Structures are given as C-alpha cells and as structure tokens.
Amino acid sequence: MSAPTLPPGAVLAPAPANGTPKGARTARVAVLGASGYAGQEFVRLSLTHPGVTLTALVSREFAGRSAAGLLPGLDARAVKLPDPIAPEALAALWAAGGFDTLVSALPHGALAELLAEQPALASAELRVLDLSQDHRAGEAGYVYGLPEAFRAQLAGATHVANPGCYPTAAALALLPAAEAGWLAGPVTISALSGISGAGRAPALRTSFVELDGGAAIYRAGESHAHVPEMARTLARLTGAAPEVAFVPQMAPMARGIVLTASVALAEPVAPDDAHALYEQRYAGEWFVRVLAPGEWPETRAVRASNRCDVAVTTVHGGRTLIATAALDNLVKGAAGQAMQNLNLMLGWPESWGLPVHGNPW
C-alpha cells in the first residue's frame, strides 16, 4: 500500500528504531483485564511501541503468577514484564506513582464497579482508555475514540471510550456517505464475527463443538447493545438519528469481522461516484484501505492488523448504497484502536506501534 497523503490533524510516521525522540513523553501503562483476548492483544502491541512501558498487568485469575503464565506467547528471554497483580492492588500502585495510564479491557460494567471500590482511581490526573461500552455515550467526560471521525477531539484527551468492534466496522463502512449527506433511510447492517468477540470466559454457545462447521445469527433486529452506539455515531456524522437494524452472526473463526451495511440514498448515485467519494475521504487514512471496484473485503486480509478494508457500490438504479468492511475485532476493533487513540492522546505519530499489514495465513 502506498503511503497516504495526510488529512488535517493526522500525523503518520514509523516507530523510530532507537526509541522515542528526545523530549517525547512516555506512557507508563497498567492493563486491566490483561488475561482477556483484548488485554493480551494490547500487551502484544505494547511490546513493540517505542513510547509505552507496561508497569502493571492486572488479572484477578492470574495474580501472583508469572507474566509468562498469563501470556503464553511471551518469550521471557526477550522482554521483562511485571508479574500480574490483583485489581485490589491498583489504588496503592497509583498512589505510589506506578502508572499514569490505565487501559481497561474489563467486561462491561466492571470498570465502574472498580472505580466505586477504589475512588482514588477516579483521579482526573489518571489517563484512562476504556474498551467496554460503559462510557461510549460520553459519560463522565469520555471522548468517543474513533480516530477517523473524531481525531480532533482525541488530541490531548485524558479519558477515551474505545468503540465496539461492530460499531467501528459499521462507522467506517458508512462514514463517507454519512458525512456527504447521502443517507436517506433506515440502515440495515449484517455482520459475521469471530468467536473471540464474545470474550474469553467459557460458554456453551462459543464452544468448539457448538460452532464448528456452522454459523449462527443471534439477537437480530434492534435489541443488540451495539445498535444505540451505531445510531449515535451516525447521528454525529449526519446531524440526524437514523434507525438502525442489526443482524450479528457468529462464524467458526477465532477473529475477524466482515460487515455489510445497506441504506437508501437521498438521490441516485452511480457506483463509480460512490467509490470516488470513498477514495477521496480515506485518501489520508493510514488504517483504512478502499478496495478497487469489484473487490470485496475478507477477514484474512486484515488479520492481526489495525487496518479496516472497505468497499462500496450502489444498486437499484443508484438508490441504495451497499457499503462493506472487514477488520480484526481484536486489533482495529479493540486493542489496536486503543493504541491508536493513545497515540493521539499523547500527540505521538498516530501509526506508532501499529501493524498496517494483515497476516492472511
């Protein structure tokens, strides 16, 4: 992929070979929920980031054990990480100056409980990135962390709510058309997701025997928790609150999302004009690739990368938009986007520490 031109506010640069530039700040990070899929992915990305120092891995299940036991892919000969601690130890560590950034990969609702139990962590001086849905509506002053849409608000922010994986794919699939004022009707979104999106806790419906060889629709309609988030994002882009219907599906793969959104257009648009709009809007975005006409996204092309692939066309005489996207739900849909947000929060080059290339095999 050729290097993109820069949009307003974007700063793209490779990570320097010899650490951060002179005078640059570093982030001393505690990862809450470090034993989960998203938490482990954030740790993996941090190991090659020039400005991030991991000072605490927090996991009630693994507290008191070794970092190597928590992270089976870690080669302890190459890197030294702190052994996991219990969540109850965080407030004391914060008081002792042990970290300045808290990345929470806890299940929905768990961070709020922790902050209620340890009010010292609610300090305005603590930088917080929340990967749960708890603050995505802007509660407690959190900024919604979708860089491609809200980059200016993220620069210098101290509290950021990471978007959900499905809403990220949906927003990036529809963003150019929404900003252009093209959307004129209810939005219907259908998506297939890898099982890691359901979290690491064992459950019958996500077990190998239940899922291998098939795919399953769940919570179709307007009841999924991500529907309000999708509608809020589109409302911010269009100035109106569109109706959103969502059909999420589980597929027998570990990671990845492939999504299709369809919506009526205010005026007919030719397929080539739709593609041209998307090419122009995403020309400066390092982590969004617009595929050529006739090419369509696939999960394996973006696996283990922070990139989202999108493709678009129109049908029904140009009256209906079909916008598609694929991303890795653990990277651009979770930990990678959190790292991208952290880069913006600290004024670092936005691409630092983040893979743009996929690993299809």
**Would you name the residues annotated as active-site residues?**
165
> Taking Cα atoms as reference points, which of 91, 142, 93 lies closest to residue 120?
91
Between CA 270 and CA 274 the distance in angstroms is: 6
Q: Specify the DSSP class assigned to residue 199.
A: -
Q: How is the beta sheet containing 308-315 ordered, strand by strand?
A: 216-217, 244-250, 183-193, 257-265, 320-327, 308-315, 288-290
Between CA 202 and CA 213 the distance in angstroms is: 19
Between CA 242 and CA 183 the distance in angstroms is: 9
Q: How many Å from the N-terminal Cα to the C-terminal Cα in the chain?
A: 19
Q: What are phi and psi of 323, to 5 degrees?
A: -120, 135
Its sign, for the CA torsion 28, 33, 35, 40, is negative
List, in order, residues 6 or more apart from 216 with CB less than 8 Å away.
205, 249, 250
Q: What are phi and psi of 267, to 5 degrees?
A: -140, 155
Q: What are phi and psi of 191, to 5 degrees?
A: -150, 145
Q: Specify the DSSP class assigned to residue 142.
A: P
The CA angle 45-49-54, to the nearest 5 degrees, is 75
